[in-house]
C-alpha cells in the first residue's frame, strides 16, 4: 500500500510537470504481473510524451529526482513517435509491456502494438548471451565467497526468468503466468535441472533460506541450465 501511494504521488507530480504533453504513464514488469517482491523487485514505469525535448526533460527533472531518491529506478521516457519506431529494437521489452502492464494515466497505447517476432528471437539470444557473459565475469570475482555467489544468483534470477519466458514464446508456446512454471516447462524442453532456479525463487518469496544453498554446486547447476537455454535459442 505504501508503494501504491508513492506511485500515485509520482504520477501526480509528472502530470503537474508535463501538463497536456504527458500522454501515458504505465507500470510494467513484476509490479504489474503480480510477482513483485519488495526485497528484490523494482517498480518499473514508462512515460510517453507527445513531444520530447531538452526543455521537456528539464521540466520533468524535479519529479524524477524525487522519485529516484526513494531508491526507485528512473522511468523510461519516450515520445509517442519514438515508441512506435523502436518496437523492432526493443522487441522483448515491448512484448512484455504489451502483455503485462497497468495504465496509471492516459490512454492504453500498448494494446495494439505489433512486435516483430523475428527481431524478438535475435534480441533474445543477444540478451541471453550478454547476461551469461556478465554472470561469468561476476562469478570469477566472487568464487569462494559463498554469500557473494548466492547473491549473484539471487540478483540475476529475475532477469533470466524473464528471458526463459521469452524463450518459450520464441518456441511457439504460450507461457504460464508464473516464473516457476515457465522454468519447469523450459527445463523439460531443454533438458536441464530446474532445482536451483526454483530454490532461488523460493528465497526471493521468503519461502526458503538462502543459507540452505550450497553455493559452488548450485552455481554449477545454474550455469549449466542457462547454457542449455542459450544453445536452444541459437538452434531455433
Residues of the chain with pLDDT under 70: 1, 30-41
Reduce the DSSP state of residue 164 to 3 states and report it: helix
Q: Please say which residue of 61, 85, 106 terminates a domain.
A: 106
Give the pLDDT confidence of 88-125 residue by residue, as tens digits: 889 998 888 888 888 999 988 888 888 888 889 999 99
Last residue of a domain, one of 106, 127, 153: 106
Contacts of 155 (CB under 8 A, 6+ apart): 40
Verify that 12 and 90 share a domain, yes or no. yes
* Residues 126 and 196 occupy one common structural domain: yes
Both 102 and 133 in a single domain?
Answer: no
**What are 105's strand-pairing partners?**
25
Distance CA 175, CA 117 (A): 15
For residues 221 and 134, state if they share a domain.
yes
173 shares a domain with 85: no
Work out how many domains the chain is built from and give that number.
2
The answer on 225 and 121 residing in a single domain is: yes
Q: Where is the domain boundary, 85, 106, 127?
A: 106
Based on the fold, state whether residues 137 and 93 are members of the same structural domain: no
The pairing of strands 22-28 and 76-79 is unpaired
Pairing verdict, β 22-28 and 101-106: antiparallel
Specify the CATH number for the domain of residue 53.
Answer: 3.30.460.10
Supply the DSSP symbol for 89.
T
pLDDT of residue 96: 85
In whole angstroms, how far apart are CA 92 and each of 62, 71, 121, 130, 159? 30, 25, 9, 14, 12
Q: Are residues 64 and 156 in the same domain?
A: no
* Residue whose entry in the numeric block shows the C-alpha cell 559452488: 216
pLDDT at 106: 93
For the chain, helix, strand, coil in percent to 5 are 65, 10, 25
Instruction: Measure the CA–CA gap between 184 and 199, rounded to whole angstroms.
Output: 12
Domain that holds residue 167: 117-234
Amino acid at each position: 500500500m505504501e508503494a501504491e501511494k508513492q506511485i500515485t504521488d509520482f504520477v501526480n507530480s509528472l502530470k503537474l510537470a508535463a501538463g497536456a504533453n504527458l500522454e501515458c504513464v504505465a507500470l510494467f514488469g513484476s509490479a504489474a504481473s503480480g510477482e513483485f517482491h519488495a526485497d528484490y523487485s523494482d517498480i518499473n514505469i514508462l512515460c510517453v510524451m507527445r513531444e520530447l525535448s531538452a526543455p521537456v526533460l528539464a521540466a520533468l527533472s524535479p519529479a524524477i529526482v524525487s522519485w529516484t531518491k526513494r531508491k526507485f529506478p528512473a522511468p523510461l521516457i519516450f515520445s509517442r513517435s519514438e515508441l512506435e519506431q523502436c518496437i523492432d529494437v526493443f522487441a522483448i521489452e515491448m512484448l512484455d509491456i504489451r502483455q503485462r502492464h497497468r495504465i496509471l494515466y492516459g490512454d492504453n497505447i500498448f494494446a495494439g502494438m505489433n512486435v516483430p517476432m523475428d527481431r524478438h528471437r535475435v534480441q533474445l539470444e543477444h540478451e541471453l548471451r550478454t547476461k551469461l557473459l556478465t554472470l561469468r565475469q561476476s562469478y570469477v570475482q566472487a568464487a569462494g565467497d559463498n554469500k557473494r555467489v548466492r547473491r549473484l544468483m539471487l540478483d540475476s534470477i529475475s532477469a533470466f526468468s524473464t528471458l526463459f519466458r521469452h524463450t518459450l514464446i520464441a518456441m511457439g508456446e504460450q507461457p504460464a503466468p508464473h516464473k516457476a512454471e515457465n522454468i519447469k516447462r523450459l527445463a523439460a524442453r531443454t533438458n536441464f535441472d530446474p532445482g536451483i532456479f526454483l530454490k532461488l525463487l523460493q528465497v526471493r518469496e521468503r519461502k526458503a533460506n538462502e543459507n540452505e544453498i550450497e553455493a559452488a554446486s548450485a552455481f554449477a547447476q545454474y550455469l549449466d541450465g542457462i547454457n542449455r537455454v542459450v544453445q536452444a535459442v541459437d538452434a531455433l
